[in-house]
Chains A and B, each alone.
Chain A
Amino acid sequence: MEHEREIMDVAIEAGHILLENGAEIFRVEETVYRISRHYGIDSGSIFTLSNGLFVTADSVGKEPFAKILHVPVGSAHLDRVAAVNQLSREIEEGKFTVSQARAELERIRNMPGKTYRMQVIGAAMGSAGFAYIYGGSPVDSLAAFIAGAILYIYILFVSRPHLSKMVASITGGAVATIASMILYGLGLGEHLDFIVIGSVVSLIPGVAFTNAIRDITDENYLAGVVRMLDALLVFFCIAMGVGLVYTVIQRLMGGVVL
């Protein structure tokens, strides 16, 4: 029988990876609970916030265990969520010892993300697609493809490493708007509005918004409300960034461009 502490470390690490990479609170708690129960922890509690884990274990005849973990929320890596989910299922089927599970979690934590080039292409594809479905023409879509790529390069190299979330969203909205205006000024695209709408979509807080709804539905109100606030704030900041550029242009040019 492995030491209780080792078991709890593995269970908590699984929860940590899930929470950090965009899983719902329900999945985090369920996974920690299942892994610890499979390895013989028969009593304990877990409480999860959007950025923290509180775990205790208190099995009969063993040392009580408690841990609080601060989990800063990173960008979503749904491949890691899927991998931990798979691991937890296989642990329950008895395919992993505690130390094997720990090694597997280590591997999942270090799974390489998508390359920068792939991410930029993804963002550009998203921008092009959404510029079109929100009402743009194919040419608008092409302009949004380029502006979306420019925005994502800005996100990767400037805002993600250096800026807070609010400033990143405001400046991101502004960068996308300026890029769209330049392209439009150069004659690429027919409707500036749809180019701008398309180009900013990679800033949309889709993970926070969807998870917030799921968490609130599961009655994890505290985590859900925090995530919803996060999503609304980001939406608001993007709109502010776009509006800011429009205001400046209007003051400078008397509204000719709009």
Chain B
Amino acid sequence: MNLFAQVMAALLGTIGFSIMFSVPREYYPLCGFVGGAGWLIYCLVLPHADAPEATLAAAILVVFLSRLFAVWRRCPVTIFLIPGIIPLVPGGDIYWMAYYIVRDQMELSADKGFEAVKIAVAIVLGIVFVFQVPQKLFRAVIGAAARK
């Protein structure tokens, strides 16, 4: 139940960002789906791994779905990717970093800052690798789905 609430919150938050970035209205549900699916994977992987690893798994799914939907709806991948990746951005860690700096707890602050960097690198890796997958594969997947 809690997992469901988490995914719904990520989905609605992602749609909020789609509105801010002026995504065309017909793509709101797909953007929300991408963001929600990414967060679902993050939540499922997190108990078995650390945050950067869970982020990497989620980022891979987010980029994969973004590219798939871009081919399906024939529109720029940016539309799904930018809102969809936002739940994974280490906003919380950056906040705690600043918070501990203010409280003069430099060690904790450095921990959080380094964690934020690791998570950002995980997002980078997800984007870099999934964009190497040839476009043909996504066309084939869409083609196979359309034939059914």
Q: Which residue numbers of A lie inside 8 Å of B, CB to CB?
A: 22-24, 27, 76-82, 85-86, 89, 113-114, 118-119, 121-130, 132-135, 141, 152, 193, 196-197, 200-202, 204, 206-207, 209-211, 213-214, 217, 235, 238-240, 242-243, 246-247, 250, 258
Chief secondary structure at chain A's binding surface: helix
Q: How far is the CA of A149 from the CA of B124 in the complex (A)?
A: 30
Q: Which of A22, A79, A127, A239 lies at the interface centre, i.e. has the most chain B CB atoms within 10 A of its CB?
A: A239
Q: Chain A residues near B135 (CB, 8 Å)?
A: none
B24 and A122 contacting across the interface, CB-CB below 8 Å: no
A78 and B95 contacting across the interface, CB-CB below 8 Å: no
Q: Chain A residues near B37 (CB, 8 Å)?
A: none
Q: Chain A residues near B22 (CB, 8 Å)?
A: 76-80, 113-114
Chain A residue at minimum C-beta to C-beta distance from B125: A213
- Count, chain B residues at interface, CB 8 A: 47
Q: Which of B6, B17, B24, B96 lies at the interface centre, i.e. has the most chain A CB atoms within 10 A of its CB?
A: B17
- A sample of 7 more A-B contacts (CB under 8 A), given A114-B19, A129-B16, is A24-B78, A79-B23, A89-B74, A125-B12, A130-B86, A196-B95, A250-B102
A-B contact list, 10 entries, CB within 8 Å:
A82-B79, A86-B74, A121-B19, A125-B12, A130-B91, A209-B89, A210-B127, A214-B131, A242-B95, A243-B102
Q: How far is the CA of A147 from the CA of B39 in the complex (A)?
A: 23
Chain B residue at minimum C-beta to C-beta distance from A152: B20
Q: Which of B16, B91, B123 lies at the interface centre, i.e. has the most chain A CB atoms within 10 A of its CB?
A: B16
**A132 touches which of B9, B24, B103, B128 (Cβ 8 Å):** B9
**Residue-wise interface mask of B (60-91) relative to A, using a CB-CB cutoff of 8 A (1 in contact, 0 not):** 00000000000000111011011101110101
